[in-house]
Amino acid sequence: QSCCLSTSHCDSTSQNPINLTTHTPDSRTYTNFPESSSPDSSFINMNFASLKPILIVKPKSESEIKNAILCSRKLGVQVRTMSGGHDYEGLSYLAQSPFIIIDLVNLRSIKINLTDETAWIQSGATLGELYYEIAKTSKVHAFAAGVCPSVGVGGHISGGGFGTIMRKHGLASDNVVDARLMDVNGRILDRKTMGEDLFWALRGGGAASFGVVLSWKVKLARVPEKVTCFISQHPMGPSMNKLVHRWQSIGSELDEDLFIRVIIDNSQEGNQRTVKTTFQTLFLGGIDRLIPLMNQKFPELGLRSQDCKEMSWIESIMFFNWRSGQPLEIMLNRDLRFEDTYFKAKSDFVQTPVPENVFEEVTKRFLEKETPLMILEPLGGKINEISETASPYPHRRGNLYNIQYMVKWKVNEIEEMNKHVRWMRSLHDYMTPYVSKSPRGAYLNYRDLDLGTTEGTNTSFEDARKWGETYFKGNFKRLGLVKGKIDPTNFFKNEQSIPPLF
């Protein structure tokens, strides 16, 4: 208790401004994790009984982060760093061992430099805050990252970052040009001082294993002043299955300006439940160029110009969030989240088109559930141009698309959860013959503890390979070696962190 967490506070009994930066279970400002208003009470941790944090630190300066790290080391408690709090398994705010949360919500400045088309972003910023700031500064710039505005840049960029312009500009992590990291000793390292191995690891390897990323410097992408969006919806049945089947072969081959993702979900119409497929599209250009392209490559969709809408790039983000027409300021809302309460997700990579009858079976299974969801995101383009070892994210050339499976439910009861999780696992098992193999791939940003965990402190690197190679393939070994150098005592650890390799 004698540790100094805040530069303005060294005594937990005094009345000085402790509540500005640190929040104990006794203080009114402590958020009751995870049951109430944590940024992501919507997300549930499936696989372990978690504790509540001893303390939540909301640093206002980098020196306070240093104090929190050094103090935690001294007290022998774990640190969980939280940026947007969107981790699918809650690893930024739940843990099995005593821990504190470093919540970066107060460190979220964004500095855009249009001269060299870059931005320095503090890790606590959200994608929405970044996109809003870019749009305020330029009509022809964007950043290649995810579509959900409340996702934090800290976790998102360090885990890859799929988004609507990735086929032209790559993943968010492919566009990082510098980073500032605080290590286990409280030292601040940038690209030059950390060296290329550690800089490589942060861009897709999950930064939580290596330290606290304070800020990222990223390359902005150039986009046209007007882009085009459309959705095309199709009810379940043979023609829907045919369209999805056709999309599988062309989605990753299309012009890099064209991003068509597929969402399969279900809805209740009267007494009847039905499944539908939505093709949700962004084109980096105008309607006049899009229509001939679609007629040539995907005429089966029957796209007409009246189905399309031209808009600015930031409006396209609103469109992908089903929020067209709402004020842009909604992008600044850090609490945007699923209306449903809990969910479980999994992911896959597809390398050869899945037979048509598989979608028929998926549709049947979807009819059994209230809120199942499958999002198919096309790869190819720029993602293929980058080698498998250039960054920890290895799912490059040879992969047609990523599948994200999700099931949501509202009742917070263990039996309810088990029922849905069992359903999800069974769907994932069913897909085994049709997706990548040896190893079956998974995407780190759609974290899934079913793949395996580092149990206790004694998990060996060999044990961790089982799940590590699903995310990183052969890059897992290099990640282990980097970890061995920067954090040999394995201070920065969580249930799925990289074990050190020496």
Active-site residue list: 446
Query: How many C-beta neighbours within 10 Å does residue 357 have?
Result: 10
Which is nearest to 372 in space by CA: 231, 236, 232, 229? 236
| Residue 201 C-beta: closest distance to ligand FDA, Å | 11
- Residue in the structure block whose two tokens are 């999780």: 421
| Residue 202 C-beta: closest distance to ligand FDA, Å | 8
Nearer to ligand FDA, 363 or 391 (CB): 391
Nearer to ligand FDA, 78 or 241 (CB): 78
Which is nearest to 405 in space by CA: 383, 434, 382? 434
| Residue 88 C-beta: closest distance to ligand FDA, Å | 5
Nearer to ligand FDA, 5 or 79 (CB): 79
Output the CA–CA distances (angstroms, integers) from residue 163 to 127, 273, 296, 479, in the order listed: 11, 30, 25, 24
Q: Which helix (H) or strand (E) holds 218?
A: strand 212-219
Output the CA–CA distances (angstroms, integers) from residue 221 to 91, 124, 140, in the order listed: 31, 21, 8
| Residue 87 C-beta: closest distance to ligand FDA, Å | 3
Strand-pairing partners, residue 345, are 406
Q: Do you know the residue count of the chain?
A: 502
Question: Strand ranges (DSSP E) for 335-400?
Answer: 342-350, 372-378
Query: How many C-beta neighbours within 10 Å does residue 173 have?
Result: 26
Q: What's the chain's Rg over C-alpha atoms? A: 22
Nearer to ligand FDA, 44 or 240 (CB): 44
Write out the DSSP string of 282-346: EESS-HHHHHHHHHHH-GGG---GGG-EEE-HHHHHHHHTT-TTS-GGGGG-TT---SS-EEEEE
Strand-pairing partners, residue 342, are 409
Task: By CB under 6 A, name the binding residues for ligand FDA.
Answer: 80-88, 91-92, 104, 123, 146-148, 151-152, 154-156, 158-163, 207-208, 212-213, 445, 494
Burial class (CB in 10 A: 0-12, 13-18, 19+), 415: exposed
Strand-pairing partners, residue 402, are 349, 377
Contact 78, 51 (CB under 8 A): no
Nearer to ligand FDA, 212 or 236 (CB): 212
Strand-pairing partners, residue 80, are 101
- Calpha distance 204→445 (Å, rounded): 9
Nearer to ligand FDA, 162 or 409 (CB): 162
Dihedral sign for Cα 183, 184, 187, 193, please: negative
- Calpha distance 295→312 (Å, rounded): 24
| Residue 43 C-beta: closest distance to ligand FDA, Å | 6
Strand-pairing partners, residue 173, are none
| Residue 89 C-beta: closest distance to ligand FDA, Å | 9
Q: Which residues of 2-34 are buried (b: 16+ CB within 10 A; e: fewer)?
A: eeebbeebeeeeeeeebbebbbeeeeeebbebb
